[in-house]
């Protein structure tokens, strides 16, 4: 349970009890004491295990529109229980209600230290986006990564769509928890479907042995390091007359799953051409997964935490592909020139 603390003495006491136990992150006494002292004046949220504080988070204002997650810590024995996530969600709610538009956080850039890499992955999974790296803000050994996220839910949702791109790099070995895989599958199943025929079915694979068997038939290999994957199946069911919407159905499901995976901090790529080409890799994968007659395996989506940064692809300009009121009509982006 997360509780807002208002008493400065209690804030300092909780901050001290947590930070002094986290020597890997807060081993430098001077800066640790500074955090403890300053926490008295910051918005303070404590995660409680009954009456015992096991983690905390502080928010401070850095500009009229922006709050910063100034410091947070969770006792090591309480890691991987969703406590950090709960603290950040609570802080986000509070900051949004207080009228802030953005939340930022600073940490040591990915790739410097394993402990901080975990911190980076946690922030990415919480919806933060890379804003800028300041190589010398702290010191050369600790380049400062600034993350930011919009607190306007509509903007955050659109940002997720606009920032999704295919990831074809290496994955970290961290397993994808079942609950996350289930949420990704649920997002796929929630997609629209022509005449509601629900022609698309899904198999998530997280068993290393099954993954290894699939990998053995995917040639050339893709997603080899992914700790999990989703295989997309379709049935060519007629919707009406001779119309079959199976392709549209599974395409909608795939996009939903790609977005859901991103929202949970994972990366993926829509591998369809690869498994449905003349060599029919998908058929061999379907056999491994005991897929019955009548279903076709049409797509492979590796799922995992990205190990590398990947540049997004170049997209054509808006004006080349989208218009208002008439094909190819320039200008009038907001309809103002139609006002008489
Ligand atoms: C129907 C379909 C099939 C695809 N098949 C493959 C594939 O076999 N291999 C691959 O690397 N990417 C594949 N992709 C991913 C596209 O290459 C990718 O979406 C495109 O380059 C645009 O990049 P973005 O996803 O980063 O926006 C496929 C995408 C779609 C929609």
- Determine contact, residues 260/214, Cβ cutoff 8 Å: no
Q: Is the CB of 270 under 6 A from ligand 1?
A: yes
Given a cut of 70, is residue 20 above it in pLDDT? yes
- Determine contact, residues 297/274, Cβ cutoff 8 Å: no
pLDDT at 199: 98
Question: Which amino acid residue places its CA nearest to atom 3 of ligand 1?
Answer: 272
Given a cut of 70, is residue 332 above it in pLDDT? no
Domain end, chosen from 96, 131, 163, is at 163
Number of domains in the chain: 2
Ligand 1 centroid to Cα of residue 174, in Å, is 25
Rounded to an integer, the average pLDDT of 5-26 is 95
Q: 37-59 burial string, b = 16+ CB within 10 Å, else e?
A: ebbeebbbbbbbeeeebbbbbbb
Q: Is the CB of 274 under 6 A from ligand 1?
A: yes
Is 309 a domain residue? no
How many C-beta neighbours within 10 Å does residue 83 have? 21
Confidence of residue 154 (pLDDT cuts 50, 70, 90): confident
Rounded to an integer, the average pLDDT of 252-265 is 95
Rounded to an integer, the average pLDDT of 304-318 is 90
How many C-beta neighbours within 10 Å does residue 214 have? 21
Average pLDDT, the chain: 93
Q: Is the CB of 60 under 6 A from ligand 1?
A: no
Residue-wise pLDDT for 194-221, tens only, equals 999 999 999 999 999 999 999 999 999 9
Please give the structure tokens belonging to residue 234.
Answer: 């379709």
Q: Is the CB of 259 under 6 A from ligand 1?
A: no
Given a cut of 80, is residue 238 above it in pLDDT? yes
My answer on whether 156 and 210 are in the same domain is: no
Rounded to an integer, the average pLDDT of 132-147 is 95
Is 57 a domain residue? yes
Ligand 1 centroid to Cα of residue 270, in Å, is 5
My answer on whether 183 and 244 are in the same domain is: yes
- CA separation, residue 333 to residues 161, 163, 323, 326, 330 (Å): 20, 22, 8, 12, 8
| Cα–Cα nearest to 221, from 281, 166, 306 | 281
- Determine contact, residues 101/65, Cβ cutoff 8 Å: yes
Q: Is the CB of 313 under 6 A from ligand 1?
A: yes
Confidence of residue 330 (pLDDT cuts 50, 70, 90): confident
Burial class (CB in 10 A: 0-12, 13-18, 19+), 136: exposed
Given a cut of 70, is residue 173 above it in pLDDT? yes
Ligand 1 centroid to Cα of residue 319, in Å, is 22
3-state secondary structure of 270: coil
Burial class (CB in 10 A: 0-12, 13-18, 19+), 114: exposed
pTM recorded for the entire structure: 0.71
My answer on whether 21 and 135 are in the same domain is: yes
My answer on whether 183 and 245 are in the same domain is: yes
Please give the structure tokens belonging to residue 315.
Answer: 């997209």
Q: What is the CATH number of the domain that holds 106?
A: 3.40.630.30
Task: Tell me how far apart the alpha carbons of residues 110 and 112 are, in angstroms, rounded to a whole number.
Answer: 6
My answer on whether 17 and 98 are in the same domain is: yes
My answer on whether 229 and 93 are in the same domain is: no
Query: For a pLDDT cut of 70, what percent of the chain falls above it?
Result: 97
Given a cut of 80, is residue 3 above it in pLDDT? yes
Is 229 a domain residue? yes
My answer on whether 143 and 237 are in the same domain is: no
Residue-wise pLDDT for 85-99, tens only, equals 999 999 999 999 999
My answer on whether 33 and 101 are in the same domain is: yes
**What are the φ and ψ backbone dihedral angles of 18, each rounded to 5 degrees?**
-85, -50
My answer on whether 159 and 201 are in the same domain is: no
Please give the structure tokens belonging to residue 164.
Answer: 């999704």
Query: For a pLDDT cut of 90, what percent of the chain falls above it?
Result: 84
Ligand 1 centroid to Cα of residue 167, in Å, is 10
Is 254 a domain residue? yes
Is 332 a domain residue? no
Question: Which amino acid residue places its CA nearest to atom 1 of ligand 1?
Answer: 272
Is 168 a domain residue? no
Residue-wise pLDDT for 267-291, tens only, equals 999 999 999 999 999 999 999 999 9
- Say which residues have a Cβ less than 8 Å from residue 49's Cβ, sequence separation at least 6: 78
Confidence of residue 340 (pLDDT cuts 50, 70, 90): very low
My answer on whether 135 and 237 are in the same domain is: no
Cis check for the bond before 336: say yes or no (omega within 30 of 0).
no
Q: 141: domain range?
A: 2-163
pLDDT at 338: 46
Higher pLDDT, 80 or 15: 15
pLDDT at 110: 92
pLDDT at 178: 96
Is 340 a domain residue? no
My answer on whether 183 and 152 are in the same domain is: no
Rounded to an integer, the average pLDDT of 141-159 is 91
Is 154 a domain residue? yes
- Determine contact, residues 115/27, Cβ cutoff 8 Å: no
3-state SS string over 3-17?
Answer: EEECCHHHHHHHHHH
My answer on whether 140 and 267 are in the same domain is: no
Q: In what order do the strands lie in the sheet with 129-139?
A: 2-5, 43-49, 52-63, 66-74, 102-108, 142-150, 129-139
Q: What is the CATH number of the domain that holds 216?
A: 3.40.109.10
Residue-wise pLDDT for 31-74, tens only, equals 999 999 999 999 999 999 999 999 999 999 999 999 999 999 99
């Amino acid at each position: 349970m997360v509780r807002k603390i208002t008493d400065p003495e209690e804030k300092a006491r909780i901050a001290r009890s947590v930070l002094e136990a986290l020597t890997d992150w807060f081993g430098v006494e001077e800066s640790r004491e500074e955090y403890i002292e300053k926490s008295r004046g910051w918005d303070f949220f404590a995660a409680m295990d009954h009456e015992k504080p096991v983690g905390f988070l502080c928010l401070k204002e850095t500009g009229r529109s922006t709050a910063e997650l100034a410091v947070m810590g969770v006792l090591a024995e309480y890691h991987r229980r969703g406590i950090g996530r709960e603290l950040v969600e609570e802080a986000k709610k509070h900051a949004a209600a207080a009228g802030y538009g953005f939340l930022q956080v600073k940490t040591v850039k990915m790739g410097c230290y394993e402990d901080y890499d975990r911190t980076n992955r946690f922030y990415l999974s919480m919806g933060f986006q890379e804003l800028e790296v300041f190589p010398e803000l702290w010191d050369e050994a600790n380049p400062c990564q600034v993350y930011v996220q919009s607190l306007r839910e509509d903007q955050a949702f659109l940002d997720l769509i606009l920032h999704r791109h295919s990831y074809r790099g290496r994955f970290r070995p961290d397993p994808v928890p079942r609950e996350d895989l289930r949420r990704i599958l649920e997002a796929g199943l929630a997609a629209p479907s022509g005449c509601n025929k629900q022609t698309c079915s899904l198999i998530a694979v997280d068993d290393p042995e099954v993954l290894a068997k699939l990998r053995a038939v995917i040639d050339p290999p893709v997603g080899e390091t992914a700790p999990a994957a989703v295989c997309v199946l379709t049935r060519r069911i007629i919707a009406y007359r001779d119309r079959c919407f199976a392709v549209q159905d599974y395409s909608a499901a795939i996009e939903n799953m790609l977005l859901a995976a991103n929202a949970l901090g994972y990366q993926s790529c829509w591998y369809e051409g690869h498994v449905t080409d003349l060599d029919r890799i998908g058929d061999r994968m379907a056999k491994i997964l005991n897929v019955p007659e009548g279903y076709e395996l049409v797509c492979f989506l590796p799922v995992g935490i990205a190990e590398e940064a990947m540049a997004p692809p170049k997209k054509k300009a808006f004006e080349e592909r989208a218009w208002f009121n008439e094909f190819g009509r320039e200008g009038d982006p907001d309809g103002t020139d139609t006002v008489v």
